Amino acid sequence: MRLFLWFIFLCWGLFTQAQQRLWYKQPAQRWEEALPIGNGQLGAMIYGGIVQEEVQFNEETLWTGEPRDYNKAGAHQYLDSIRKLLDTGQQRKAEALAQKEFMGVKSASENPAAWLAHVAVERGKQDGPASYLYADDAWKSIQVPAYEGWEDIGLEGVDGAVWFRKTVELDEQDLQDDWLLDLNKVREEDYTFFNGQLLGHTAGDQEKRLYRIPKEQLRLGSNVLAIQVINLSGKGGISGYKDPKQEIGLRSAKGKFISIVGQWKYWVQDADVPKVGSYQATYQPFGSLLFRFPTADVTNYQRNLSLDRGLAEVRYTQGGVSFKRTYMASYPDRAIVIALSADQPKQLSFSVSMSAKHPGYRIWKVDKQTLGMQVKVKNGVLEGISFLTIKLDGGSIREKDGWLEVEQANQATLYLSAGTNFKHAQQTDANFLQKLTKKHKQVRKKSFKRLLSRHERDYKALFNRFALDFGGQPADSIPTDERLKRFVTSPDPALVALYVQYGRYLQIAASRAGTQPANLQGIWNHLLEPSWGSKYTTNINLEMNYWPTEMLNLSELHQPLFAMIRELSLSGKETAQAYYGARGWVLHHNTDIWRGTAPINNANHGIWPTGGAWLVTHLWEHYLYNQDPQFIADYYDIIKGSTLFFKDVLVKDPQSGWVVSSPSNSPENGGLVKGPTMDHQIIRALFSVFLQSSDLLGKDKPLRDSIQQLLPQIAPNQIGRYGQLQEWMEDLDDPENKHRHVSHLWGLHPGREINADDTPRMMEAARKSLQMRGDDGTGWSLAWKINFWARLQDAEHTYAMVKMLLRPADKAGGSYPNLFDAHPPFQIDGNFGGAAGIGEMLLQSHVHYIDILPALPAALSEGEVQGFKARGNFEIDMQWKEKTLQALTVKSNSGQPLRLRYRGKTITLETKKNKTYTFDADLNLL
C-alpha cells in the first residue's frame, strides 16, 4: 500500500510540474503586470518589452534615514496621566496629551518659514499664475485628481510648490447661481483661486476642501481655476476621492454638476524644499535596466514565470528568428543574471544601460563590458552601487554614452550585482564598494550554465518539498490574466493551487537566510514614495508575511524575521524604559530597517504596545513545527524580556477590577483606549509561551509562578449585546462598522484560545463578529478572513473569500494580473495570508489534534497534497476524492505523539523519529 501511494504521488508530481507557471501573451504595460524574481537581497520586476524592455530592480537595504534615537526622553512621565484620562472616559484629551508627549521622535527638520514666504510671493503677483489672464501655454499637462499622489502620475520624487490650472466653461444660466467647488482632499496644503480671486486656503491631507464661489466671480464662457499645492514631504497633489466614480467638480445651487476630472496644466514652481522630519524610514527602489532591441513584427510572444524553477522567460519570433530571454535571481551567487539567445547565429543585437529615479544618480564605464551606477537616497545616509557586465558568445560590444551596445552576437549573459553601505541598524559600512566589487568579479567569471545549475539546485531544495493538486481540468493553456478574470464565474481549482505555490515562490524570493525580512511589498518596490513607506507594519502585515512559512514547509525562511526580532529586542529595551519605565522590550505598530520601536504617526492608532509580543509567538510556532529545544534556548531571553515588559506595564482597571493593557488601541479602529481585546489575547499567548519555554528549559521558576498567577487576572474575552465577541472592554461594536481590521479575532487566528474544542461559545461570538464586519475588504483583510472562516470550519464561506481574493483588483482588493495582492495598492501580505488560509482549509494543527480536511469546500472536492507540515514536526501527504479522504501518510520527524482527527474520529499514536505511518480513509493504521 505504501509503495502504491508513493507511486501515485510521484506520477502526480510529474504531471503537475508543467502547471507551475504564470504566463502571458503580451508584455507588461504597468508594474503590477510585471513578473517578480528575487533572492532575498535583490528583487526585480520583468516587463518583457519587445523593442524597449525594463527590468526594475531593488536592493533590500536601500532605505531613507539613518541610525538615530527614535525615543522621546522622559515620555513615561505622562503615562499615568494618559491612563487616568482614559479611566475617566476622556479619550480625546488622552489622545491630545499622547500626541504631544508620547509619540516617537522624528528625524531632523529644517525651518520652512523662509521657503514658504518665498513661494508665497507668486500668489501675490497681479499677473502671476493665480490670475485669470496668465499665459500657461508653455505648461505641461497632467491628469487630475490622483488619489495616490502626483508621484503616481509623473511627478515622482517631487516635493515643493506646484501650480495647477483648469478652464471651466459656464453659460448665461450658470451665472445666476453661487457654486460650490468640491476638491475633497489635497496633499497637503492648497491656495485655491477662481478667476484670480482666492477662494480659500486649507492645510492637512485629511481635510475636505469645499469652497464657495459667489456668482459675482463668475464669467460667461471661460473661467479659470488655479491652485497652488504645497507639499513638503511624502505624496503630493490634488487627491480627490478614493473612489474614482466620485468626481471632483463644481455644483450649482440648482444642483448642476460640472466635473473637473481630466487634464490640467501644471508648473513646478520650486522643488528645493527644506528638510522635513519623519517618524520612520522608507524603503527605496534602486534602479532599472533599460534595453533597446531592433524594431520588427513579432509573433509567438510569451512571457512566463516558472515557479518550479524560479525563472522568468520571454520568448518570441522576429524575422524568422526565435529569441529567448531567461531571468533569474540567484541566492547562491547573490546576483541577477539574464541570458539572451537566438536560434540562429549572429542575430542578437541590443543596447542596455541603467537608470534610477534618485536625483543625481551617476553612471560610468568600468571596463569595455561593464557599467557602474551610483545612487544616493534623499534625506538619508545610504548610497548604493550596481555593476552590470555583459559576456558574449560571438559578436561585438562597445560602450557609448552610458549604453553597452551589442552587435550580431550568438548569445549574451548579463550579470547584475548591487549593494549599499548599510551594515546594521546602528552603523553604515565605509568599505562596501570594495566588497561589492569583489563579489561581482567572482560572479561574472561563471558561465550561465553553472549559475543556472547552482540556482536550480538551491531553489528546488526548497520549492520541491511541497506539492498541491486540486484536480479538475487543467487550465494552463489560458494566460494567467485571463484565468483571473474567468475565475469570477468559472471553476478553476488549479488556479487556487497555483496561488498557494506562488505564495511559496514569493517567500523564497523575498526572505532568505541572512537577508532582511519581507516588508510590506516583499522586496519589490518601484516608487520613491511607496504607500506606508513599504515598511514593516507589525499590527498584522509583517506577521502575515510569515503565516505560511512553517505549514508550507519553508521553515528556514523564517530566519530573517527571527534576526529582526533579536535586533528589535535591543532597540525595544530603550523604548520600554523611555515610555513605560519598564523592564524588557516593546515594539509598537511599525518598524523600519533602523529598527525603530517607538510609537509613530498618531496617538489614535500608533500607541499599540503588543507588536513585540506577537512576534514572540512566531518563535514558539517555529519550535512547535520543528521541536528543537535549542532554538528556544537561543531566544529565551527575548521571550522573557517581552514577558517582563507586560508584567511591569499591565495595570488594574478601576471599573472592572481586571488587569488591562493601557494605553493602547484595537489596531487602527476606535482610537486610544484601555484594554482592547486583541492586546489581551496576544499577552495571554505570550505568557503561555513564556511558561512553556521556562518549563522546557527549567529556568526562572519564581517568575514563572508569578506569571501563572497574573494570567487569569487579565480581562477575558467578552460577548456583547449582539452575540458578538467584543472588540473593546465596553460593548461598543457597531453592526454597521465594516472596518478592514478584525483584530479582536486574533485569538481565533493566528492565536488558538478561541476554538471549537475548548471555547465553543466564543467560536460562535467570533462568527457573529465576522458576519457583522462583512466579507469585503482590502487584500490582506480578505486573506485574514479566509483564515478566520477556515478556523470556524465553514468550508463554503472560506472558499467564497478565496474567490474574492482571486478576483481582478479593484478599489476593494483582489489580485493584479501578476497575482500580486491588491490592498490596493500592492501589498504582499495578502499573497502570504491567502496561501496560509488555503492551507488551513486542508489541515489544522493548532489545538489538540491534527485535523484532516477541516474546511474542504465542494469546489476542491478532489485533490492531493504532499509535504504539508503540522505542529509536532509531522510531514503529511494525503489524497481525497468526492470530499472524502482516500489515503494519508504521516512522517514523524521528531518522534512526538501523533493525534489525528477526521470527521469526528480521533486516534492517538506513539511515534518513532523519522518513521512514516500510513492510514486508510478511516484512520486505520496500515
Using the Cα atoms of residue 637, residue 638, residue 639 and residue 641 in order, give the sign of their dihedral.
positive
Give residue 48's pLDDT band: very low, low, confident or very high (50, 70, 90): very high
Mean per-residue pLDDT, 808-821: 91
Q: Note the pLDDT tens digit of each residue in 262-271.
A: 999 999 999 9
pLDDT greater than 60 at residue 17: no
pLDDT greater than 50 at residue 582: yes
Residue % of the chain over a pLDDT of 90: 93
Give residue 563's pLDDT band: very low, low, confident or very high (50, 70, 90): very high
Mean per-residue pLDDT, 282-301: 96
DSSP letters, 581-641, are --SS--B-SEE-TT---S--S-HHHH--TBHHHHHHHHHHHHHHHH--HHHHHHHHHHHHH
Mean per-residue pLDDT, 326-353: 97
Confidence at residue 4, expressed as pLDDT on a 0 to 100 scale:
43
pLDDT greater than 60 at residue 822: yes
Element containing residue 916 per DSSP (H, E): strand 915-919
Strands 257-259 and 321-330: unpaired
Note the pTM of the prediction, 2 decimals.
0.94
Mean per-residue pLDDT, 691-695: 98
Q: Label residue 379 left, alpha or beta by phi (over 0 means left) and psi (-120 to 50 means alpha).
A: left
Mean per-residue pLDDT, 165-169: 97
- Count Cα neighbours of 270 within 13 Å in the Cβ-side half-sphere: 17
pLDDT greater than 50 at residue 185: yes
Mean per-residue pLDDT, 21-43: 97
With a CB cutoff of 8 Å and minimum separation 6, the contacts of 854 are: 790, 793, 840, 841, 842, 843, 844
Spatial separation of the C-alpha atoms in residues 150 and 134, rounded to whole Å = 23
Three-state secondary structure call for residue 341: strand
C-alpha cell recorded at residue 335:
546576483
Mean per-residue pLDDT, 396-402: 95
C-alpha angle with apex 913: 909 to 918, nearest 5 degrees?
Answer: 50
pLDDT greater than 70 at residue 433: yes
Q: Cβ distance 801 to 785 under 8 Å? A: yes
Element containing residue 269 per DSSP (H, E): strand 262-270
Give residue 139's pLDDT band: very low, low, confident or very high (50, 70, 90): very high
Q: Which of 687, 684, 666, 688 lies closest to 675, judged by CA?
A: 666
Q: Note the pLDDT tens digit of each residue in 847-903.
A: 999 999 999 999 999 999 999 999 999 999 999 999 999 999 999 999 999 999 999
Q: Note the pLDDT tens digit of each residue in 350-393.
A: 999 999 999 999 999 999 999 999 999 998 999 999 999 999 99
Q: What is the mean pLDDT of the chain?
A: 95
Confidence at residue 167, expressed as pLDDT on a 0 to 100 scale:
97
Confidence at residue 811, expressed as pLDDT on a 0 to 100 scale:
73
Confidence at residue 255, expressed as pLDDT on a 0 to 100 scale:
93
Q: Which of 864, 875, 852, 860 lies closest to 12, judged by CA?
A: 864
Confidence at residue 546, expressed as pLDDT on a 0 to 100 scale:
98
Q: Cβ distance 742 to 678 under 8 Å? A: no
Residue % of the chain over a pLDDT of 70: 98
Q: Higher model confidence: residue 888 or residue 234?
A: 888
Confidence at residue 813, expressed as pLDDT on a 0 to 100 scale:
86
Domains and CATH numbers, the chain: 2-65+281-464 (2.70.98.50), 113-270 (2.60.120.260), 488-860 (1.50.10.10)
Give residue 686's pLDDT band: very low, low, confident or very high (50, 70, 90): very high
E strands along 206-245, which residues? 209-213, 221-231, 237-240
Give residue 739's pLDDT band: very low, low, confident or very high (50, 70, 90): confident
Mean per-residue pLDDT, 493-502: 97
pLDDT greater than 90 at residue 244: no
Cis status, amide bond into 808, omega within 30 of 0: no
Angle between helices 629-649 and 559-580 in degrees, nearest 10: 20
Confidence at residue 124, expressed as pLDDT on a 0 to 100 scale:
94
Mean per-residue pLDDT, 297-316: 97
Spatial separation of the C-alpha atoms in residues 479 and 634, rounded to whole Å = 47
Q: Cβ distance 321 to 349 under 8 Å? A: no
Burial level of 694, CB count in 10 A (0-12/13-18/19+)? buried
Confidence at residue 2, expressed as pLDDT on a 0 to 100 scale:
43
Eight-state DSSP code of residue 504:
H
Confidence at residue 148, expressed as pLDDT on a 0 to 100 scale:
87
